[in-house]
């Protein structure tokens, strides 16, 4: 399946995010081995795999936040390792797994930080920056909360603030590391709907998810990872099966059409 990714990557190498033969290590442990994948506009890709499979490392390595042992990753044909952070940020918005907020800033200011790469300074938003921030606030249904301090928000509201921050960049690509972690089912759907809307409007999104049913429901393509390798990459109908769940997560599960059910550990 990784070959398929490689072939697709070669077909239009200059489009979106594309990684080949990516091997990443920290300390002495190899975290990701020879991974290849691509992300284009107009698709929502879910990255699935157990804890410690190397999902976060793969994303960080692909966008140049982590040194590589070998392989390459490019955005629109440009190596992410050699891109200035500012330029990369204009093409790809990144929502990391840990989203600490150091200060109790107002919601609008946090969202405005998404415009950092465009040179926006807080409290002095102008023209395009201001409009992008207002659009992102509206898209995430945050207009009412725009003046509130982030310290007073619930987890679900905060998740929307972070999404709005990522959307405000108006970058064509979005990478979200566990965007729905620790959210109740209602807010999981809301956040996934936001990402889906982003994709429907022409964006390309890659999201790490742990809820296979949610991935099945929203994603156009699933990338499956285990032990630092990408073991499968393709549409849900082709790559999601009971045996896949057993292989990846070591769980007994049932897959019937759109329905995914986990029955217990293997």
Partner 1 sequence: MRIAFAALILACAAALFAACLLGSTPMGADRVLAALALGGDHGDRLVVLHIRLPRALAAFAVGAALGASGAALQGLLRNPLAGPGVLGISAMASLGATGALYYGFAALSAWAMPAAAIMGAFAGTGLVALAALRTTSVVTLILIGVGLSSFAAAAMNLMMNLAPNPFSLADMINWMLGSVANRSLQDLGFAAPFLIAGLGILLASRRGLSALTLGEEAASGVGLNLRRQRLAIVIGAGLATGAAVALAGVIGFVGIVAPHIVRPMVDHDPARSLLPSALLAGLILVLADIGVRLMPTASELKLGVVAALVGAPAFVWIAMRRRSVHD
Binding site for partner 1 (CB under 8 A): 63, 65, 84-90, 93-96, 98-106, 109-110, 113-114, 116-117, 121-123, 149, 165, 169
**CA distance readout (Å), 266 to 155, 225, 228, 262:** 33, 18, 21, 11
Least separation in angstroms between residue 175's CB and partner 1 is 9
Least separation in angstroms between residue 205's CB and partner 1 is 14
For residue 129, the 8-state DSSP code is H
In angstroms, the CA 204 to CA 242 distance is 28
Beta bridge partners of 146: none
Closer CB to partner 1, 48 or 63, in the complex: 63
Closer CB to partner 1, 123 or 202, in the complex: 123
Strands (E), 148-200: 173-176
Helix and strand numbers (H, E) in the chain are 10, 12
Closer CB to partner 1, 6 or 93, in the complex: 93
Closer CB to partner 1, 175 or 245, in the complex: 175
Least separation in angstroms between residue 213's CB and partner 1 is 28
Least separation in angstroms between residue 118's CB and partner 1 is 8
Beta bridge partners of 92: 173
**CA distance readout (Å), 162 to 146, 150, 165, 194, 223:** 13, 11, 5, 11, 24
Least separation in angstroms between residue 89's CB and partner 1 is 3
SS3 of residue 235 by DSSP: coil
Closer CB to partner 1, 68 or 226, in the complex: 68
């Amino acid at each position: 399946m990784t070959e398929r990714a490689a072939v697709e990557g070669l077909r239009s190498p200059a489009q979106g995010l594309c990684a080949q033969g990516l091997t990443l290590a920290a300390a002495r442990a190899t975290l990701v081995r020879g991974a290849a994948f691509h992300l284009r506009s107009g698709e929502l890709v879910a990255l699935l795999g157990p804890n410690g499979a190397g999902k976060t490392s793969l994303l960080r390595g692909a966008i140049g936040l982590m040194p590589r042992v070998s392989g390459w990753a490019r955005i629109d044909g440009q190596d992410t390792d050699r891109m200035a952070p500012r330029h990369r940020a204009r093409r790809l918005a990144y929502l990391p797994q840990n989203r600490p907020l150091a200060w109790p800033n107002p919601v609008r200011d946090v969202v405005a930080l998404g415009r950092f790469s465009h040179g926006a300074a807080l409290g002095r938003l102008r023209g395009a920056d201001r409009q992008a921030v207002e659009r992102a606030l509206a898209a995430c249904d945050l207009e009412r909360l725009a003046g509130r301090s982030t310290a007073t928000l619930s987890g679900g509201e905060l998740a929307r603030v972070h999404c709005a921050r990522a959307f405000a960049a108006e970058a064509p690509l979005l990478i979200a590391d566990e965007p729905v972690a620790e959210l109740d089912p209602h807010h999981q759907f809301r956040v996934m709907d936001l990402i889906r809307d982003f994709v429907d409007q022409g964006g390309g999104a890659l999201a790490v998810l742990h809820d296979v049913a949610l991935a099945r429901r929203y994603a156009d393509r699933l990338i499956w990872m285990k032990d630092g390798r990408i073991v499968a990459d393709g549409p849900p109908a082709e790559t999601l099966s009971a045996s896949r769940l057993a292989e990846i997560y070591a769980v007994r599960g049932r897959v019937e059409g759109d329905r995914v059910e986990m029955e217990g550990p293997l």
